[in-house]
Every structure is written in structure tokens, then in C-alpha cells.
Amino acid sequence: MARMCALTGKKVQYGHNVSHSKRATNRRFEPNIQKVRLQSEALGQRISLNIATRTLRTVQKKGGLDGFLLNTDDSKLQPGALRIKNKIRRKLSGR
């Protein structure tokens, strides 16, 4: 499993630990990735995703998975999230 959010693409970042003597050593900043099952009202099913906890807060704020995907610009979403978004759009348009 890649340490990357399935919706937003947030991934590992690199930086330095800086000691009191200002010596810098390399470190990794890991995103808090959790496996969650989100309900899609439009599709009528639960979708299992590995997402960052920050993204989960945003999904809840936007009114669930459908609201988050439909209100987020395509350039900010990962390919898997775009596929789900297109399924939701097709379902809502009546096809």
C-alpha cells in the first residue's frame, strides 16, 4: 500500500530534524492514512478507500463523498477518484 491519499494524492514529504545545536538530520513526514468505507448516496454503495484524516474531515464538511467529489476541481483529484466522480455524474444525470 502506497502511503498516499486515494482522493487528494497527499503523500510522504521529506525534511530535517533540527537539533538544539542546529544539526540537521533527514526525516520523513508521513501522512495519517486510514482505510475507511464511505457511503455514496448516488451510487447506493459503500466505497473502500485509503485516505488521509485531513481529507476525511473535508469530506465530512462537504456533505459526504458525493458532495466532496462533485465540488472538487478535477485537477486536484487522483485518477481513481475521478472514475468515482464520473460514475456519480452519470448516475445523477439519469444514464
As beta bridge partners, residue 88 has none
Q: Which of 52, 80, 37, 2 is CA-nearest to residue 69?
A: 80
Residue 55 in any domain: the answer is: yes
Indicate the number of domains in the chain: 1
pLDDT of amino acid 95: 65
Q: What is the pLDDT of residues 1-58, one digit of tens each?
A: 578 999 999 999 999 999 999 999 999 999 999 999 999 999 999 999 999 999 999 9
Residue 50 in any domain: the answer is: yes
**CATH number of the domain bearing residue 36:** 2.30.170.40
Q: How far apart are CA 20 and CA 53, in angstroms?
A: 31
Q: What share of the chain is helix, strand, coil (3-state, %, to 5)?
A: 35, 30, 35
Burial of 2 (0-12, 13-18, 19+ CB in 10 A): exposed
Instruction: List the domain range (segments joined by +) for residue 27.
Output: 13-93
At position 90, the amino acid (one-letter code) is: R
Residue 34 in any domain: the answer is: yes
Residue 3 in any domain: the answer is: no
Residue 83 in any domain: the answer is: yes
